[in-house]
Chains A and B, each alone.
Chain A
Amino acid sequence: MSDTKDVILEYVKNEYLEEGDDQEVTYTTPLISGGIVDSFSMVSLKLFLENKYDIKIPDDVATPEAFDSVNNIVEVLKKFNIE
């Protein structure tokens, strides 16, 4: 599970933080409500997860709450038996 967490965390840091932005992002950092990933960008984060784990996340599952931290995203992935 920590591999999955780290994969997501790395992706978020690389894709959604500007190069040189030294803001600390952890497994619990609020991503959506914290303004790191906005509602429009969530689409690309969802697509990343779908591509990476070969799944299809329904829109009603991909809510701002469900994507609001790396830990929350991991909970979403568990529904697809991804540990």
Chain B
Amino acid sequence: MTNLGVYEEKIKDFSWEISERELGYKQGDNINIGEYCTDRICRMGKKDKLALIWEGHGGDIKKYTFDDMRMLTNSIARFFKELGLKGGDRICLFMDKIPELYFGFLGILKMGGIAQPLFSAFGSESLLTRLEDAGTRAVMTQKRHLPKVRNIVKDLPGLEFIIVVDDDASKPLREKEISFSMENIEKIDQFDIFPSKAETPSVLHYTSGTTGKPKGAQHVHYSLISQYITAKYVLDLKDDDIYWCTADPGWVTGTSYGIIGPWANGITQCVLDSGFKAESWYKFAEKHKVTVWYSAPTAIRALMKEGIDVVKKHDLSSLRHLCSVGEPLNAEAVIWSEEAFGRPFHDTYWQTETGSIVISNYPDMKVKPGSMGKPFPGIEATVVDLNTHLPIERTGTVGLIALKPGWPAMFRTYWNNEEIYKSKFKNGWYICGDRASIDEDGYYWFVGRDDDVINTGGHLVGPFEIESALLEHEAVAESAVVGKPDPVNMEVVKAFIALKPGFTASKDMNLNIMNFVRKRLSPLAMPQEIEFVDSLPKTRSGKIMRRVLRAKEWGEEIGDTSTLENDEG
């Protein structure tokens, strides 16, 4: 029996009050995610149960019970308070997937701070943009990422504390830098948890758009209500499960379902802090007897490339439920997983802004390979016309995925950008920015993004940010960045570049520009391919027409070119 039961039955009588009731929350109560994931679980009699099994790339293993986690998050919360940090302060977590990242997140929430996790592969410029916008007061990081913070600290007068979690005193720390050791800190039994309410800000996750700088989607503590129940119903988490979410908490999956959802359910989860390697992943799942696995299509396709033989070398019989998120899961990957693991990956759909799963395939529901599934109970979804934004009645017609606002985990604003936040709502619907159709059985089928944002390996990358970085390269006169189809990552970044006079296109120039972007922004933003051109297609008003370049890459019709300045582009 699955937690959700029969989908068609559940949607009839579902309300978010079910989640509130199970969590013991009543309107007007204090609600603090940090407390709900740790103290509450201990009060339920699970203090000695393992909360986290962590394994590093060298094979080191660390284990923490819920009581360890409760006390360590208290210790971290008190440490922040003693620094003078207070409720509402933005505190950035800029670390690999080490235990300090997970406990630091909950510690921040416990003292009332707003957790701002950022992907540790971000370069200095990506980091600067996001810390500057958020007005971040403190960054918690590791020695290996400290140089990137040092590069920008002079540009961030509001950044007061740089907390280094693995300082070994081999080199002196600088002004603003503070050493912190979770292993040596006193475990605090009692901490006065910040009395946050439903609408108190909790997490700030940055996401990329077509234009402008990345935007901080701001969430609140009440998001717990969605994250708890979706983890229970969609991931089907049960008390004896060993759960593995491969996502990095620098992205929203890594916090909603790599921290909040599973731990609010009192589930043991394991984390592998290592780069991707099929053999290592299978060994990890076998060693820890993983039962529920939440991963991404890019990873699944990379595993497919390695073949079935390597799967069969391992005993993966503990696996009982598989889910996927980040980009559409292609039918081949679903069929392959049935062959490799004896069960399909269940695709789930949601975004940084939605905060929790909104459309999904469910454990007891027939999977149509390649489909996104159906709306989560309590989520009112549809597709709306591309122009009028009115719901489309005819099945099979492509429109924009739209959600009726009001589910608990929905973002509350974009930090410092209420205007763009408001622009996301049309005719009373939140417009997700993705195109899809609905079939006669109510299943949603993903078609593509409705803008120029590139989904690479499940992460959204904004072309504007990359083009801006490219313009800082001494040889680049102008550029246009688009997504190009890729068999593993769905899309990868491709840059069309016109060089300044005096510079010549060459293989070395290609590599030089790639590395330039990688270091400034991130490996995700690095163009995987560069095409040097004499000029770029532009409108008569001088705006670069990315869609023309994108259409060529995807083999699609170019569409209306009446405004094109130079057809030969």
Contacts and interface: CB of A to CB of B under 8 A. Distances in A.
A43 B514 contact: yes
B147 A44 contact: no
B277 A65 contact: yes
Interface string B500-524: 0000000110110011001000011
B357 interface: no
B272 to A, nearest CB: 10
A66 B165 CA distance: 32
Nearest to A18: B147
A19 interface: yes
B449 interface: no
Given A34-B57, A51-B511, A19 B147 contact: yes
B57 A47 contact: no
Q: Is the interface of A mostly helix, strand, loop or mixed?
A: loop
B65 interface: no
Contacts of A30: 57, 275
A40 B466 CA distance: 15
A20 interface: yes
Interface in B487-511: 507-508, 510-511
A10 interface: no
Contact of B144 (A15, A21, A33, A65): A21
Nearest to B96: A35
B277 A32 contact: yes
A50 B170 CA distance: 38
A73 to B, nearest CB: 15
A65 B280 CA distance: 10
Nearest to B522: A40
A83 interface: no
Contacts of B96: 35
A33 B514 contact: no
B275 A38 contact: yes
Nearest to A43: B528
B150 A20 contact: yes
Nearest to B524: A40
Contacts of B57: 30, 33-35
Interface of A: 15, 18-23, 30, 32-35, 37-41, 43-44, 47-48, 50-51, 64-65, 68
13 contacts: A19-B147, A30-B57, A33-B57, A33-B276, A34-B57, A34-B58, A35-B274, A39-B275, A39-B276, A41-B523, A44-B514, A44-B518, A64-B276
